[in-house]
Structure 1
Amino acid sequence: MDPDRSALDAALGDCDGYLVDADGADSTQRYLSGFDAPDPFVTCYTPDGVHLLVSGLEYGRARTDARADTVSRLSAYDYRDRVSEVGPVAGRAAVVADFLADRDVASVTVPARFPLGTADGLREAGVTVRVDDDDAVTRIRAVKTDAELDHVRRAQRANERAMATAESLIESATVVDGVLHRDGDPLTSEAVRRAIERTLLDEGCALDETIVACGADAADPHERGSGPLRADEPIVVDIFPRDKETRYHADMTRTFLRGEPDPRLREWFALTDEARRAALDAVEPGVTGEAVHDAACEVYEAADVPTLRTDPSTETGFIHSTGHGVGLDVHELPRIAPDGDELEPGNVITIEPGLYDPQVGGVRIEDLVVVTADGAENLTEYPVELIV
């Protein structure tokens, strides 16, 4: 099912179309065109339809795969001759201007990161170019269709199988002088990441990086982790894969420990799980992302644990927001943070409170949730347990 683009019509204002010049890795491009190509191509959305301008190499595939009403070749506008005459940037911009003119598009709204060379060339050709200050497409795609939700669910199931791979390696390791071992060698963050990546590849997913961080490394929320994993210390595993076919992401974090946690770490884990459940209970349509974040903060603050809400300069405790949207990007709208807007049915968000201190390590628990008409559905089926 195609996404509902009616909200984009309103976002156009007095412009004739919405123009994107990017490759298929750009989420706005992918969302509007339904097409994935490694090289930049042009999509123009108008209330009358979606129109693509692609290279001859991509023409046949775009006609078959794209969600487009028309697909045109660069060669139809004498692309090579014009590039030879005035250079690649000006020549391509002139071709895009003619492509727009054929569709009676004299003014366009463009994303904030639209190529400057194309924008300048279009303006020289008399096309009005207005920057989309409200990031309309990103806001529109924050509300997922049923088909998109199915894509996220599929990615999450693959994610959970990868998490099970990581947990199994940690659980089955032997302990030698306080270090986890497997097959006679130390079990490292790198080895666990490789096993996670192999599982995800088998599931049709890819990922750029994964966090497997132990001990003091786990006290930095975005530290990937390195070296041998140790007993009696927390191991934060954060996996955020992308389904290679649909390009939709999943996201999940669990904290594992092989051995015996010290009392403070055990308390931190219990508090973080309580904060997770409090935030989950707060999720429903009309509630702001700020209110959900506040629900997590209140659990920590009641236990006299620092948060950024009570101490903006703290470097320990709860030092990040509670969550973010997930979809074609692993971080997108809505924000579950002090500036978070109202939630709507169809929003897919993470709930991921955590506590951090280099003297203790780190603890983070993350679930993936969809906002429903009357509350929320937790898409995460993986159990929450510290000791393995």
Structure 2
Amino acid sequence: MDLSKLDARLDALDADGYLIDADSTDADQYYLSGFDAPDPFLTLYDGSTHLLFVRSLEFGRAKRESRAASVERFTDYGYDDRLEADGRREAAHRTRAAFLDAYDVEAVAVPPRFPLQTADGLRKQGIEVVADAEQTVTAVRASKTDEEIDHVRAAQRANEAAMAAAEDLLGQAEIDGDRLLVDGEVLTSERLKEEIEVTLLRRGCALDETIVACGADAADPHDRGSGPLRPHEPIIIDIFPQDKTTKYHGDMTRTFCVGEPDEQVREWYDLTERAYREALAAVEPGATGADVHDAACDVYEDAGLPTLRDDPGTETGFIHSTGHGVGLDVHELPSVGPDGGELEPGHVITIEPGLYDPAVGGVRIEDLIVVTDDGYENLTDYPVSLVVE
């Protein structure tokens, strides 16, 4: 882990340390502390990492598992003695301040979403608290180590198995009028999601939500989809699992059709595949996320289809960015969109152009790649094909 950018940011803000108050579902907290806990705790970075817990519940495990130089508790800083005189809230503020004082920290930088009550309490104790508008820890996380890339790759292997299970179930479906039947039962979005989620669980991954959206549902890029799946219509399947051990995500989307898609859907799919390949070709160190996004937009606009670049108010066509970073969060830096900055080796990003219209449905193709010294490596090993055989 290279935290030199964080060190430089602390210097620029004239802060003695970086402070996070959150549980480990906050990716910055997990990254900086190296510890997984369901309740909020303090992480202080001052060149080394120090953890402070309200209770002793996680104390022993944190000493064993975290990457912190020190692990301490409220009780180590006089919290219990302050309770009767100060009350719980004031005692907590004074204890946090005592913890910072022990490391000669008089000013802290904090993430933009840092708890207001904690910030106010520290300020009342004379600690300067400044918001890090640049979200430096989030920015640092964007550049992955080889180990992190392996974690993402492993999550993507599980993702591919889940996508294959979903496609296999679609392949078993029989067309019965405007319905798809499997073993005499109507095939629904919910049934396909169940197959996906069970497959992921068996491979050590978890997923609270996935997207299996058909027809008009698929015209909204984030509609999870529900109800019966229909033949001859595009079905978007977007899977973004998290490995339960490493906490890193995979991400992949494919669009399938059981039966015969109409001419417009085929045209849209071919254009989206072309946009996806042009965007991939634009990825290299030094290119920007905006450059990659422009490559996808060019394909659609040359075909006369609307994009947000061409028409910021459009509600149909290509209505989202070309991609985003993936890691401890399924959506993180860097951006692969109009404001996307320079791509660097170690950035893990999606490439996912798509087209949407309630009258047609939607199509999207998404792969997960890592920027390398001379281009990119595709971390996704799954075919791109519309019609389910």
State the distance in 2 between where 1:83 and 1:236 align. 55
Distance 1:30 1:124, change over 3 A: same
Q: How do 1:195-344 and structure 2 match up within 5 A?
A: 195-344=195-344
Cα contact 1:90–1:117 (8 A) shared by 2: no
Q: What's the CA shift for 1:84?
A: 4.5
Q: What's the CA shift for 1:78?
A: 3.0
Name the residue aligned to 2:377: 377
Q: How do 1:71-220 and structure 2 match up within 5 A?
A: 71-220=71-220
Q: Provide the identity percentage.
A: 64
1:5 is matched by which residue type in structure 2? L
Name the residue aligned to 1:12: 10
1:51 is matched by which residue type in structure 2? H
Cα offsets for 1:87-141 (capped at 9, x unmatched):
4333222111111111111111011111111111111111111110111101111
Cα contact 1:25–1:38 (8 A) shared by 2: yes
Cα offsets for 1:205-231 (capped at 9, x unmatched):
111210000011111101111111010
The number of residues matched between the two structures is 385
Q: What's the CA shift for 1:83?
A: 4.0
Structure 2 unaligned runs (5+)?
none
State the distance in 2 between where 1:80 and 1:101 align. 18
Cα offsets for 1:267-296 (capped at 9, x unmatched):
100000000000000001111111100000
Structure 1 unaligned runs (5+)?
none
Name the residue aligned to 1:30: 30
Equivalent position SS for 2:226: coil
Equivalent position SS for 2:57: helix
State the distance in 1 between where 2:341 and 2:83 align. 45
CA RMSD of aligned residues (A): 1.0
Name the residue aligned to 1:53: 52
Equivalent position SS for 1:362: strand
Cα offsets for 1:38-83 (capped at 9, x unmatched):
0001110012x11111221101000010011011122212324434
Name the residue aligned to 1:347: 347
Equivalent position SS for 1:384: coil
State the distance in 1 between where 2:291 and 2:138 align. 22
State the distance in 2 between where 1:328 and 1:306 align. 33
2:340 is matched by which residue type in structure 1? G
Cα contact 1:24–1:37 (8 A) shared by 2: yes
Equivalent position SS for 1:229: coil
2:151 is matched by which residue type in structure 1? H
TM normalised by structure 1 equals 0.98
